[in-house]
Amino acid sequence: MKIAVEGCCHGELDKIYETIEFLEKKEGVKVDLLLCCGDFQAVRNEGDMKCMAVPAKYRTMQTFYKYYSGEKKAPILTIFIGGNHEASNHLQELPYGGWVAPNIYYLGYAGVIRYKGIRIGGLSGIYKSHDYRKGHHEFPPYNPDTLRSVYHIRNIEVFKLKQIQMPVDIFMSHDWPRGIYHYGSTEELLRKKKFLRHEVESSSLGSPAAEELLAHLQPSYWFSAHLHVKFAAVMQHPPKGNAAPRETKFLSLDKCLPHREFLQIVDVPERSDSEGLEYDPEWLAILKATDSLQRTTPDPWNPPENNGLHDRWDFRASEAAMMEVVEDLSGELSVPENFSRTVPAFNPDRPLPHSAPSRGANAQTTELCAKVGLTDLYGRAGEQAGAGRGQEGEEQEEEDELSEYPTDTSGQSCSFNPDEIAIEDEWEEEEEEEEAGEGEGGGTAEIHTPGCLLLPEPKSDVTPVRLPLMNLPAPSHSTPAPLEDDEDGAAARILKRSSGESAEPGSTSTTPRIKRRNQLIYAAADEDEEDETGG
């Protein structure tokens, strides 16, 4: 089975599917599945664009609406996770995953699904320490803070994923697991992204939540995006108990642009003859067991521990619990193809630039919650938001009666949000790289594809192995066989550190042109301490 892996989608579905079609003809292969690692931008109409955290000049409709409206259908089954540039109101309708268009499936805040026996998991969003312990409280219309906090990872999702016991084959996250860059060609990465040097050398680049999951899940493959660069690594995990040590092959890819390495095809053996997506019984059992822990308020929450303060702290799924969810689904594990449009699709002939963001329930979530016994988080957040706004409105009326002037100054807010700089800086960086590329190359290709189906040779600090075609280990998840040498693989370039790169960039400057967006995206240890002590 051939799986195409794509980095940041940014709504360019037409170009991605065209690139896969080009590759299929060029290489004589047939791609069975597409995995997208975030920034999917499932924008259905103008209202959705107002819920996407990108600079205004980049709020363009792109091509997803064609697949949502039925004008086109995805030629390949597509599974994706959320990133930090999403139509958040749309994805919030599907907290446990679901179809956003025919043949295009979202994994939810966190999720595990099966396809032809391959177990695929994912975690949506990016890590930000000050929102990590909150519940999923955001609800449209978003304010400048919730527009960004809505895509921040929460500890409840990580806690649920850490209950998984059975091996996971493929896992996706938008931002990288912290420290993974030490297991590949680090100097090659820094040659491409010089501004990452400080974070890499201080081991502060990446998500500590994803790092924790990588150590726990130890999947055969981990795919990411976010940093807009292709990077491969191999990580050997220490053995757990008497089990054989496992290995994870990591790959991050660029975003969909000409002359960029945004797509890779990997070869994975099928494990069953089943067609279509299937629910994962262990994951559904975990969701059911942890449903009472769900919160939709911004109040901080810590997962239960074995410290004498909690009646239960172990939410791993028993065989009986897994059988129970199978019975809840009447023995049918196939994910129903029950997509339906919940809002009107964008019509280029009749644009509605002033349309408000939608905030309705999704029948897919309602149906799954009813069958398995889960809480519709989006619906509950909406109820709390409505109650809160009603109370605020009453208080505001009372205050206005006592004051000569209305006291609502929300539109004049100038509070500093570090993500705001990070987002702008990301786009400015890409603009500069594109301009430099145009100056050197003199032209742009319509489609850029990799020259072969091989990952680049990584440099591992643990073991000097080479990566052939990506093959999953046997179903028993035994220790992978030794990797054969790839005669065609080019040696990774090892670059010496230049004297001009030794100085640390200033971290206190507020000038957006300084390329420090990742230091802003990932909170430092000091910020974590402030969050813990500050409430």
Query: What pLDDT shows up at residue 387?
Result: 72
CA–CA dist 135, 113 (Å, integer): 24
Q: Mean of the pLDDT values across residues 14-29?
A: 95
Q: Mean of the pLDDT values across residues 369-375?
A: 97
Q: Mean of the pLDDT values across residues 187-211?
A: 96
Residue 105 has pLDDT above 90, yes or no: yes
Quote the strand ranges of 145-220, DSSP E: 170-173
Question: For 498-511, how does the pLDDT look when each residue is reduced to its tens digit (9 = 90+)?
Answer: 333 334 444 443 33
CA 66, 69, 75, 78 dihedral sign is: positive
CA–CA dist 112, 338 (Å, integer): 19
Residue 454 has pLDDT above 80, yes or no: no
Residue 77 has pLDDT above 60, yes or no: yes
CA–CA dist 452, 438 (Å, integer): 24
The proportion of the chain whose per-residue pLDDT surpasses 70, expressed as a percent, equals 72
Residue 460 has pLDDT above 80, yes or no: no
Query: What pLDDT shows up at residue 391?
Result: 56
What Rg do the C-alpha atoms of the chain give, in angstroms? Answer: 23
- Mean pLDDT over each residue of the chain, to the nearest integer: 80
Range with the largest mean pLDDT of 86-90, 267-271, 460-464: 86-90
pTM attached to this predicted model? 0.77
Residue 441 has pLDDT above 50, yes or no: no
The better pLDDT of the pair 430, 126 is held by 126
The better pLDDT of the pair 204, 412 is held by 204
Residue 377 has pLDDT above 90, yes or no: yes
Closest CA to 357 of 197, 141, 532, 196: 141
Q: Mean of the pLDDT values across residues 87-112?
A: 98
Place 436 in a pLDDT band, splitting at 50, 70 and 90: very low
Q: Mean of the pLDDT values across residues 160-168?
A: 97
Question: For 276-297, how does the pLDDT look when each residue is reduced to its tens digit (9 = 90+)?
Answer: 999 999 999 999 999 999 999 9
Q: Mean of the pLDDT values across residues 46-75?
A: 94
Residue 280 burial (CB count, 10 A): 24
Intra-chain end-to-end CA distance of the chain, in Å: 49
Q: Mean of the pLDDT values across residues 220-228?
A: 97
Instruction: Using alpha carbons, list the distances in angstroms from residue 313 to 160, 163, 309, 397, 535.
Output: 11, 10, 9, 45, 23
Q: Mean of the pLDDT values across residues 367-386?
A: 94
Instruction: Using alpha carbons, list the distances in angstroms from residue 432 to 227, 429, 445, 513.
Output: 15, 5, 18, 10
Residue 214 has pLDDT above 80, yes or no: yes
